[in-house]
Structure 1
């Protein structure tokens, strides 16, 4: 069964003469348990698709179906138990005055969980931090540790689909592999479905089963990862991206 289906998605900002079409006619489908990548240059519309799915980009048309349920302009609370997002910048996505315990505890409380203490401890263990980080604040954490907290927060509602918006691009190269391996392990352990945005084809090749190549708001080609690794693309822009990544 499909976990996410996007059909003829258009996303725009502004209106009339100021309107900018950020995504034009995008369509793709992600089966349950698959990891699917969106690649392309900055401004190609990759992150805008994630924002349209979560409701952060309100002006869109087309159809978005999550786990068999077509979603409208307003997301019900149950949507966020199924879909969570990990943002690019762990420095900006965590409240500077909230401890790790508050960040995770408040998320669990919002989603109606009761055994919050034990769940906070398990979440920290699951992302490789442990209890010693529970009462620390973001300024006491490294970039990689902050992103682990952000991933733990996304896992708190026990979602089936994670939207990953360049989850390692703001981190030191030495830490990027650790976070990618953590995400791969979590997907295997929890049966998660991923939609990952990245400009780095090596990251997509490591993390994803298939990928869509975007240019100027449009999906120009969908490839499986075997074709990516074999440098086999049909569209000239996809070929150009692959050649530039060597």
Structure 2
């Protein structure tokens, strides 16, 4: 579903150019959940933004479902296949748009019909009842806002979701609910995930495989079983695992 080859992403122009990601490559099969993990500034979210078309300054190759992407544009077919859920549910929703307006606008932009019934189905899918449809973001908790953001991403009926730290801005008590919702949606809709997180426990719970990133490069690709079994080989991977366990 997603193939990345020799991907380099930069900010600025010479002589001030900074390469945030250098020579990265990985593949994600249809239906797979793949994680990117590493310390802050390692390039995880930068990769998601390049795939989503939010950063055009990259070289290499990105393919979605066998179609190569251009750095400078994304067409409607892309957004019907790929959607992104952002880290901060407080910033990703328009404060003056109701839930109904947010979802209705997205559905209309995607050329969908039966808007009313689709909105209700989306709310049901993310565990929000009819009573939430005409509420505004300030009337919702952080977890409820993130459920709306997930519903908005699902409105296009995508096959690949880019998840940028989708629970890190939420209370600990709510994080597990959102992660379990995402796991259920993946199973129900056959979705493919590219999940960014600094939390190895989240990655181990949500992902089949993961890439460990350090200073813009991938140092190791592991299966979730290898992660849980403390079977990493790269010194930095072992350091991350040890730190997450408090060793």
Q: Do they fold alike, i.e. is TM over 0.5?
A: yes
After superposition, where does 1:135-150 map in structure 2 within 5 Å? 135-150=134-149
Aligned to 2:232: 233
After superposition, where does 1:35-46 map in structure 2 within 5 Å? 35-46=33-44
Helix, strand or coil: the match of 2:15?
Answer: helix
Aligned to 2:67: 69
Q: How far 1:77 sits from its partner (Å)?
A: 1.0
Helix, strand or coil: the match of 1:12?
Answer: strand
Q: How far 1:120 sits from its partner (Å)?
A: 0.2
Helix, strand or coil: the match of 1:124?
Answer: helix
Aligned to 1:132: 131
Specify every segment of 5 or more residues in structure 1 that has no aligned partner in the other structure, as ranges: none
Query: 2: CA distance between counterparts of 1:8 and 1:101?
Result: 41
Q: Deviations over 1:48-106 (max 9, x none)?
A: 00000011011000000001111112111110000000000000000000000000000
Aligned to 1:57: 55
Aligned to 1:82: 81
Whether 1:19 aligns to 2:17 is yes
Helix, strand or coil: the match of 1:18?
Answer: coil
Q: How far 1:146 sits from its partner (Å)?
A: 0.1
Query: 1: CA distance between counterparts of 2:47 and 2:102?
Result: 26
Query: 1: CA distance between counterparts of 2:69 and 2:129?
Result: 36
Aligned to 2:32: 34
Aligned to 2:116: 117
Q: How far 1:43 sits from its partner (Å)?
A: 0.3
Moved runs in structure 1, 4+ residues, more than 2 A?
Answer: none
**What is the RMSD of the two structures over their aligned residues, measured on CA atoms?**
0.4
Q: Deviations over 1:148-204 (max 9, x none)?
A: 000000000000000000000000000000000000000000000000000000000
After superposition, where does 1:151-170 map in structure 2 within 5 Å? 151-170=150-169
Aligned to 1:216: 215
Helix, strand or coil: the match of 1:159?
Answer: coil
Q: How far 1:35 sits from its partner (Å)?
A: 0.2
TM-score by length of 1: 0.99
Query: 1: CA distance between counterparts of 2:31 and 2:219?
Result: 24
Q: Deviations over 1:191-227 (max 9, x none)?
A: 0000000000000000000000000000010000010
Query: 2: CA distance between counterparts of 1:103 and 1:111?
Result: 13
Q: How far 1:14 sits from its partner (Å)?
A: 0.2
Kindly tell me the number of residue pairs found equivalent between the two proteins: 244
Q: How far 1:17 sits from its partner (Å)?
A: 2.1
Aligned to 2:103: 104
TM-score by length of 2: 0.98
Query: 2: CA distance between counterparts of 1:91 and 1:98?
Result: 13
